[in-house]
Structure 1
Amino acid sequence: MPASPTLVWFRDDLRLADHPALRAAIDRGEPVIGVFLLDEVSPGIRPLGGAARWWLHHSLADLGARLAERGSALVLRRGAAAEEIPRFVAETGAGTVVWNRRYGGPERAIDADLKTRLRSDGVTVESYAASVLFEPWTVRTGAGTPFSVFTPFWNACLNLPAPRAPLPEPREIPGPATAPDTDALEEWGLLPTAPDWAEGLRERWRPGELAARRRLRDFLDDDLGTYDRARDEPAAGATSLLSPRLRWGELSPHTVWHDTLQAAGTGAHAASAHRFLSELGWREFAWHTLFHFPDLATRNWRASFDAFRWPHPDPEHLRAWERGETGIGLVDAGMRELWRTGYMHNRVRMVTASFLTKNLLVDWRIGEEWFWDTLVDADAANNPFNWQWVAGSGADAAPYFRIFNPARQAERFDPHGAYIAQWAPDAASRAPIVDLAATRREALDRYEDVKRAARAE
Structure 2
Amino acid sequence: MVMKPRIRGIVWFRRDLRLADQPAFTAACKECDEVIPLFVFDEPLLQSHEFGSACVNFMLGCLDELQASLVALGLPLQWRRGCQVDEVFRAALEWEADVVYWNRDYEPSALLRDRAVQERLTREDIAVKTFKDHVVFEAEEVRGAAGEPMQRYSAYRARWWAKWHAVKPTVCVVPHSSTTTKKAVRSSMSPLPTANELGYEYLVPWIAPGEHRAREQLRWFVEGL
* TM-score category (smaller protein): 0.7 to 0.9
Aligned to 2:112: 109
Q: Give the deviation of 1:49 after TM superposition.
A: 3.5
Aligned pairs, number: 214
Greater helix content: 1
**Closer, same or farther: CA 135–46 of 1 in aligned 2, 3 Å:** farther
Structure 2 counterparts to residues 308-327 of structure 1, below 5 A: none
Aligned to 1:139: 142
CA contact (8 A) 1:17 1:170 kept: no
Q: Does 1:158 align with 2:166?
A: no
Matches of 2:143 and 2:26, distance apart in 1: 30
Q: Give the deviation of 1:215 after TM superposition.
A: 2.4
Structure 2 counterparts to residues 149-228 of structure 1, below 5 A: 149-160=152-163, 161-172=166-177, 173-174=180-181, 175-179=183-187, 182=190, 184-186=192-194, 188-189=197-198, 192-193=201-202, 198-199=203-204, 201-202=205-206, 205-221=207-223, 224=224
Matches of 1:177 and 1:134, distance apart in 2: 34
Structure 2 counterparts to residues 283-294 of structure 1, below 5 A: none
Q: Which amino acid aligns with 2:186?
A: T
With normalisation by structure 2, the TM-score equals 0.82
Q: Which amino acid aligns with 1:206?
A: A
Matches of 2:113 and 2:137, distance apart in 1: 22
Structure 2 counterparts to residues 370-409 of structure 1, below 5 A: none
Q: Give the deviation of 1:119 after TM superposition.
A: 1.8
Matches of 2:78 and 2:108, distance apart in 1: 26
Structure 2 counterparts to residues 3-402 of structure 1, below 5 A: 3=6, 5-41=8-44, 47-142=50-145, 144-160=147-163, 161-172=166-177, 173-174=180-181, 175-179=183-187, 182=190, 184-186=192-194, 188-189=197-198, 192-193=201-202, 198-199=203-204, 201-202=205-206, 205-221=207-223, 224=224, 272=225
Structure 1 gap ranges (5+): 225-271, 273-457
Q: Give the deviation of 1:142 after TM superposition.
A: 4.6
**Range moving further from structure 2, 210-219 or 73-82:** 210-219
Q: Which amino acid aligns with 2:21?
A: D
Structure 2 gap ranges (5+): none
Q: Give the deviation of 1:30 after TM superposition.
A: 1.4
Q: Give the deviation of 1:73 after TM superposition.
A: 1.2
Q: Give the deviation of 1:191 after TM superposition.
A: 5.7
Report 1 or 2 for greater relative contact order, CA contacts < 8 Å, sequence distance ≥ 6. 2
What is the percentage of aligned positions where both structures have the same residue? Answer: 29
**Range moving further from structure 2, 68-77 or 179-188:** 179-188
C-alpha offsets along residues 235-258 of structure 1, whole Å, 9 cap, x if unaligned?
A: xxxxxxxxxxxxxxxxxxxxxxxx
Q: Could you say which structure has the larger radius of gyration?
A: 1
Structure 2 counterparts to residues 431-450 of structure 1, below 5 A: none
RMSD: 2.7
SS, match of residue 76 in structure 1: strand
With normalisation by structure 1, the TM-score equals 0.43
Matches of 1:217 and 1:190, distance apart in 2: 35
